[in-house]
């Protein structure tokens, strides 16, 4: 039985997706889950958030003959004639582990594109599917070793071959959104892409004998969206955000759920939309403290500089991320440990 997988994905960058993944993975571990986070973004910003510079130097200067320490290390043999290697996940806390990213991962984009086409060839299909499912297989192998309850993928903001292969191995997709035109355009691009990838993967899987071994389902089921980077008070958003906020419920239904367009008056307000998992505050003033302490904002203490109003913001952040984590677990069908 495979470990459930979850990805946070939007075609639009700069909405705070990696910061969201970082904080949610910490919170899920705080609540008692055993979480494996996989940095599948070639920019490796999530890895840099978890690990200090000395650890990064150690990771990215590993001799190719040494055990795999990054996601790209585990995938490297596929660029020749081999298969994936087991990767040594980094323990962040006893309940939180990371498969680190690597800037070299960007070089895997072209081989993945080639194998997507070759998967339709009877002669090359088996090898192609091994390559295309590699992200899922590396993560599942590591999750089994760690007895993880959940795998979370962080990906880059594009519709390239790397993200397609990561998303093929994803059970649930959550879309981070900012209240602006660019974020909604990313949503419009994302929906059709997921639909193409699902149908394309189904065709390719059918052509391969079951003896190849377990392969991902390619479900990529939308599990909701999260509004990010709201700098105004959520109870009284400034007018500049209102029109974009009001468009999100309808756009999400059309683009991700493939529902027909509805008149605005028939759609719920975003604060009452069951598909909206949260409208998160902007914790801009706490981020420098968190980066310096190398911990999430909700774990900052007075020794880290979180005093006065910052201390109150830390408490609010804990409540926000705890509620969001519980809502996500309910949405994807996972329960907290007893």
Average pLDDT along the chain: 89
**Does 193 have pLDDT greater than 80?**
yes
* Alpha helices by DSSP H, the chain: 17-30, 45-50, 53-60, 71-75, 109-118, 125-132, 134-146, 161-168, 181-206, 239-255, 287-293, 309-332
For residue 166, CA distances in Å to 102, 158, 254 come to 15, 12, 23
In the chain, domain spans: 5-332
The per-residue pLDDT for 292 is 84
Q: 37 has which bridge partners?
A: 98, 152
Q: 239: pLDDT confidence band, cut at 50, 70 and 90?
A: low
- Note whether 179 and 248 are within 8 A (CB): yes
What is the dihedral angle through the alpha carbons of 53, 56, 58, 64, rounded to the nearest 10 degrees? Answer: -160
**Across 15-20, average pLDDT:** 86
Tens of pLDDT, residues 272-329: 999 999 998 777 778 888 888 889 989 888 887 777 677 788 888 999 999 999 999 9
**Across 255-280, average pLDDT:** 91
Tens of pLDDT, residues 76-105: 999 888 899 999 899 999 999 999 999 999
Strand order in the sheet with 276-281: 90-93, 96-99, 35-39, 150-154, 5-8, 172-177, 221-230, 276-281
| pLDDT over 90, % of the chain | 62
Q: What sign results for the dihedral spanned by CA atoms 312, 315, 321, 326?
A: negative
The per-residue pLDDT for 13 is 74
The per-residue pLDDT for 230 is 57
- Note whether 133 and 169 are within 8 A (CB): yes
Q: Which fold has domain 5-332?
A: Rossmann fold (3.40.50)
Least-confidence region, from 29-33, 218-222, 303-307: 303-307
Q: Which residue has the higher pLDDT, 7 or 10?
A: 7
Letter string b/e over residues 290-316, b meaning 16 or more CB atoms within 10 A of that residue's CB: beebebbbbbbeeebbbeeebeebbee
Residue 229 — left, alpha, or beta (φ > 0 → left; ψ -120 to 50 → alpha)? left
């Amino acid at each position: 039985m495979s470990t459930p997988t979850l990805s946070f994905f939007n075609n639009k960058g700069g909405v705070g997706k990696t910061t969201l993944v970082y904080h949610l993975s910490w919170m899920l571990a705080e609540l008692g889950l055993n979480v494996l986070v996989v940095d599948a973004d070639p920019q490796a910003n999530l890895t840099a958030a978890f690990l200090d510079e000395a650890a990064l130097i150690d990771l990215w200067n590993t001799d190719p003959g040494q055990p795999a320490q990054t996601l790209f290390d585990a995938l490297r043999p596929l660029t020749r004639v081999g298969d994936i290697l087991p990767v040594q996940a980094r323990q962040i806390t006893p309940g939180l582990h990371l498969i680190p990213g690597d800037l070299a991962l960007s070089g895997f984009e072209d081989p993945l594109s080639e194998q997507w086409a070759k998967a339709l060839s009877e002669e090359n299909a088996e090898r192609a599917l091994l390559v295309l499912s590699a992200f899922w297989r590396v993560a599942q192998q590591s999750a089994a070793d760690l007895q993880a309850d959940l795998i979370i993928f962080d990906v880059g903001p594009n519709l390239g071959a790397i993200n397609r292969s990561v998303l093929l191995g994803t059970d649930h997709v959550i879309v981070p959104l900012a209240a602006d035109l660019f974020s909604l355009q990313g949503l419009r691009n994302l929906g059709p892409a997921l639909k193409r990838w699902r149908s394309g993967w189904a065709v390719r899987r059918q052509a391969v004998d079951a003896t190849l071994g377990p392969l991902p389902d390619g479900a990529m089921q939308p599990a909701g969206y999260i509004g990010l980077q709201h700098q105004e008070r959520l109870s009284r958003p400034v007018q500049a955000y209102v029109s974009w906020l009001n468009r999100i419920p309808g756009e999400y239904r059309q683009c991700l759920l493939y529902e027909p367009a509805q008149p605005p008056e028939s759609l719920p307000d975003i604060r009452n939309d069951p598909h909206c998992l949260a409208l998160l505050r902007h914790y801009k003033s706490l981020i420098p403290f968190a980066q310096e302490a190398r911990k999430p904002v909700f774990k900052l203490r007075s020794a880290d500089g979180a005093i006065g109003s910052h201390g109150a913001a830390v408490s609010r952040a804990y409540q926000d991320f705890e509620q969001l984590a519980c809502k996500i677990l309910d949405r994807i069908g996972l329960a907290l440990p007893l």
